Structure 1
Amino acid sequence: MAAELRPDVTLTPTDDGAVVLDERSGRYYQLNRTGLHVLRALQEGRTADEIAAGLAARHPVTADRARSDVQRLHESLRTAGLVTG
């Protein structure tokens, strides 16, 4: 489930997450801390199950819910054209 930022996408960490700029369209996207954590884990090649287990261990959420959220974020990033993979 690896993800890679497209070459024309810039990720800038902020105090509360990150800002993602799609340089092709000029659109900005915002990720909270958890979203940034998930994106970085996807970039490292971790699976949705691995990421979800870590989230469920640190937050009051079930692994199933966390897995669904990870998959949904990954799909949203792909649909927006921000990542490949």
Structure 2
Amino acid sequence: PLLGRIGMAAGLGGMPSLARAQGASGATMRVACNVPTAAIDPVTIADGGGTLVIQQVGEFLCVDGPDLVLRPALAESWKP
């Protein structure tokens, strides 16, 4: 375990710090997606490609897990 940590620290030491892209306000944002998108409307989105794009710029109120049970994301609680 110690040797692995040392190796990881040595390997990550030369990596540059993470940077955020800075775009101009109102500029065009280009997104590459291997699944074609239909309309990118958060209210009516129903396709996988559109969901992938929306996930890049926003968060969902709830998400489903591998067991298909809804779990809170932004929403802290809800009632049926």
Same fold by TM (over 0.5)?
no
Structure exhibiting the larger radius of gyration computed from Cα positions? 2
TMscore range, shorter length: under 0.3
